[in-house]
Chains A and B, each alone.
Chain A
Amino acid sequence: MVPLYLDDCFIDKRVVRQLRAAGHSVYVTSELGVYGQDDEPHLANATRLGAVLVSQNRKHFEPLHYRWETEGRRHTGILVTRQLPVGQKFQWVERAGRLLTPDLADNQLIDLAMFSTEEKGLTFVVSLAP
């Protein structure tokens, strides 16, 4: 299990409520008082908290991941996705949060679609193991 850090465009209360009810540790930008920050401070916050950042903003976080890599900076994991209906949003993030571990997620840029089913999620998590 990994803590989750939901960015400004992912902080849907319905998703947060359900994730917490399922026992997940969820950081929400609005509650942290870091609403409306740029993407990079969000990634730094998530990393400080040891959480996996979840975002729909792939066009920003994909390049940011590689920029940090060239700068020798590390993060604690990024999950990116296309826009999804609220049901899939919750199910996929819940599965990712449950199946990933901090070690496996460390410094990884991951497509949330890897967790569209339980079987796929498990296979993917095994593929991440060294």
Chain B
Amino acid sequence: MTPNTSVPLSACRGLDSLKRRINSALALAGVKQVNSGMTLAFKHLITASDGDAEIAGKGLRVYTVLGLYEMGDSAESIAENYDVPIAAVYEALAYAADHSDEMEAITRADLEAEQRMLARMPEHVRRMAEEGIQEGEQARQQAIRGANEARRGAAIS
């Protein structure tokens, strides 16, 4: 059957029977049913073997997309500069917004690894590294503040 946009989805018998089968499977598993429809899955995201969510086939992590967006890149700019579909960027941002715990866990793990690296450095090298890390962090925070102001401004005007 060719899908026709003028026919409501509920009129599609195949979909209805699929929903019934899923609902009875959920009932068997003791999961409460929600009648408002099926949850839509992300189409462009996968969980890589190392556990981080990323854009399928591109290796671009959701965490990276979030970081770029926070620092002021638009979704369009990320899509252009990393050669990924714009829809994948929006999915990544939606996923990040819904999984802030997961994003924070990545930051924590990165910082722990950073601490381990610093701990192995000779004193004078460690001081230089810490200085550089601070400079980078200040630049990042400044970019985030600028992006927040620009986005707030755009929302008002």
Contacts of A12 in B (CB 8 A): 81-82
Q: Is the CB of A111 within 8 A of B129?
A: yes
B85 at the A/B interface (Cβ < 8 Å)? Answer: no
What total of chain B residues lie within 8 Å of the partner, measured CB to CB? 43
Q: Mark B135-156, 1 if CB is under 8 A from A, else 0.
A: 1110110110000000000000
Q: Is the CB of A109 within 8 A of B117?
A: yes
Q: Mark B37-59, 1 if CB is under 8 A from A, else 0.
A: 00000000000111000101111
Q: Is the CB of B136 within 8 A of A116?
A: yes
Contacts of A56 in B (CB 8 A): 64, 67
Task: Name A83's contact: one of B56, B71, B112, B128 (CB within 8 Å).
Answer: B71
Q: How large is the interface on A (under 10, 10 to 19, 20 to 34, 35 or more residues)?
A: 35 or more
Tally of A-B Cβ pairs under 8 angstroms = 116
B15 at the A/B interface (Cβ < 8 Å)? Answer: no
Task: Name B49's contact: one of A38, A58, A83, A127 (CB within 8 Å).
Answer: A38
Contacts of A13 in B (CB 8 A): 80-83
Q: A30-B83, A83-B64, A83-B67 are in contact. Are A88 and B59 (CB under 8 A)?
A: no
Q: Is the CB of B60 within 8 A of A8?
A: yes
Which of A43-51, A59-67, A99-107 makes up part of the contact surface?
A59-67
Contacts of A57 in B (CB 8 A): 61, 110
Q: Mark A1-30, 1 if CB is under 8 A from B, else 0.
A: 000000111011110000000000000011
Closest 7 CB pairs of A and B: A113-B132, A8-B59, A116-B132, A59-B109, A36-B59, A62-B113, A83-B67
Q: Which residues of A contact B (CB under 8 A)?
A: 7-9, 11-14, 29-30, 35-39, 56-60, 62-63, 80-88, 92, 109, 111-117, 120, 123-124, 127
Contacts A/B (CB < 8 Å), 23 sampled? A8-B59, A8-B61, A9-B59, A9-B60, A11-B83, A29-B59, A36-B58, A58-B110, A62-B116, A62-B117, A63-B113, A80-B113, A81-B136, A82-B110, A83-B71, A87-B139, A111-B117, A111-B132, A111-B133, A116-B131, A120-B128, A120-B132, A127-B124
Q: Which residues of B contact A (CB under 8 A)?
A: 48-50, 54, 56-61, 64, 67, 71-73, 80-83, 106, 109-110, 112-114, 116-118, 122, 124-125, 128-129, 131-133, 135-137, 139-140, 142-143
